[in-house]
Amino acid sequence: MVSKPHGGRLIRRIAAEKTRERILSEAEEFPKVQIREGVAIDLENIAHGVYSPLTGFLRSDEFQSVLDTMRLPSDLPWSIPIVLDISEKDKTFEEGDAILLYYKNTPIARMHVDEIYTYDKKEFAQKVFKTIDSAHPGVAKVYAMGEYLVGGEIELLNELPNPYERYTLRPVETRVLFKERGWETIVAFQTRNVPHLGHEYLQKSALAFVDGLFVNPVIGKKKKGDYKDDVILKAYETLFKHYYPRDAAVMAIVRYEMRYAGPREAIHHAIMRKNFGCTHFIVGRDHAGVGNYYGPYEAQEIFQAFPDLGITPMFFKEFFYCKRCKAIVNERICPHPMEDREYFSGTKIRKMIMEGKVPPEYFMRKEVYETIKGFENPFVED
């Protein structure tokens, strides 16, 4: 049986067609708030149940509970605050009002404003990111947020523009898909990268213990030098075609803006995949980390505090190629010293591709490399 949704019920906050039409015809009567892409993506994830049991943006008691205990007031694990921030100039409405949220001038959702409250950005940063250093990308985003948070339920009116609709599955769809395939145990793998052999071994090691593998690339804002989303998807399609059992692996994307909150975010990622119906979640080295803010296996250790998460984490040590084993292994199964090891470095592989050098076969599948090279420029520019 696939995982039950977090909180027991899959949330769907999508306005019924008639309600939607009525709201949109009365759009001018509602206070209007423009939201940025990251918030719009969170909103879409709430509406489609990726963030079940949330039905809207956090109210102050929920926000404080998440900061202090990594749990909602109901005691359910929840580690990342999902909030709507506004600035003083956007505060044109009051508690009790219904407002329309706009993204790029399109009304995306109606929100019932339960509460407008202030918060301490340094406390937010320290508790979620374990630092108040503005060089941390997640902290910088918090510092750039508006002075107020708005809590209340939402109803989706329009989907966000999605260039990857063909690769997008919602939790209601993955749940049916897993059931139709007869999978009772499913392991999820989150990725933001093109696959190298280390990823493949990690995924296949996990798949050896369950019925199905769900590769779930995160599509969202990228920085210069990252692989373009198209490249990641095509590279995975190639890998699947040549090296994965068709009846035991699927790929679909999720749109999500990374917080880089390391251990706390690993819990959040696991909850998202539980809502997709997965029973297991792969947590590797420095999951959702950035720089040196978190220990290499801190994102694994935090799971000890959540016996009630409802999804089983699968922990792996970092894989590498051992020249003496002549295999891809990790420190648990390889007795050889460091000098025999070739670690999978994304930076090293990226450099090779940029310089037109073919990565060694123990780093990357030839077919995957050729797929990447088929793009005129596989990397994000300015």
Partner 1 sequence: MPEERKYTTVSIPVQLYEKIKKRIEGTGFTSVSDYVTYVLREVLASLEEEEKEEVFSEEEEEKVKERLRALGYLD
Residues catalogued as catalytic: 192-193
Rule CB under 8 A: is residue 177 a binding residue for partner 1? yes
Rule CB under 8 A: is residue 147 a binding residue for partner 1? no
Q: How far apart are CA 297 and CA 303, in angstroms?
A: 11
Q: CB nearer to partner 1: give 51 or 103.
A: 51
Q: Cβ 111 to partner 1, closest distance in Å? A: 23
Residue 313: strand pairing partners: 281
Rule CB under 8 A: is residue 17 a binding residue for partner 1? no
- Interacting residue with partner 1 among 24, 30, 36, 69 (CB under 8 A): 69
Q: What residue has token string 């939402």?
A: 154
The window from 67-75, 103-111, 142-150, 354-362 that contacts partner 1 (CB under 8 A) reads 67-75
Sign of the C-alpha dihedral computed for residues 314, 318, 322 and 328 taken in this order: positive
Pure H helices in 111-151:
121-129, 137-143
Rule CB under 8 A: is residue 2 a binding residue for partner 1? yes
Q: What residue has token string 């909103």?
A: 43
Residue 191: strand pairing partners: 217
Q: How far apart are CA 257 and CA 142, in angstroms?
A: 13
CA atoms within 13 A on the CB side of 85: 19
Q: CB nearer to partner 1: give 30 or 306.
A: 306
Question: Binding marks (x or -) toward partner 1, 71..90, rule CB under 8 A?
Answer: ----x---------------
Helix, strand, or coil (residue 11): coil
Rule CB under 8 A: is residue 5 a binding residue for partner 1? yes
Count interface residues toward partner 1 (CB under 8 A).
31
- Contacting partner 1 within 150-169 (CB under 8 A): 166, 169
Q: CB nearer to partner 1: give 268 or 274.
A: 274
Per-residue DSSP letter, 8: S
- Interacting residue with partner 1 among 120, 147, 230, 370 (CB under 8 A): 120
Q: Cβ 64 to partner 1, closest distance in Å? A: 6
Nearest to 84 by CA among 20, 41, 135: 41
- Interacting residue with partner 1 among 105, 304, 347, 377 (CB under 8 A): 304
Nearest to 288 by CA among 257, 319, 317: 257
Query: What are phi and psi for residue 338, nearest 5 degrees?
Result: -55, -40
Q: What residue has token string 């493949």?
A: 200
The window from 3-11, 100-108, 182-190, 195-203 that contacts partner 1 (CB under 8 A) reads 3-11
Rule CB under 8 A: is residue 339 a binding residue for partner 1? no
Q: What residue has token string 């190629």?
A: 321
Please report, as ranges, the residues that interact with partner 1 according to CB under 8 A.
1-2, 4-5, 8-10, 60, 64, 68-69, 75, 119-120, 123, 166, 169, 172-173, 175-177, 180-181, 250, 252, 304, 307-310
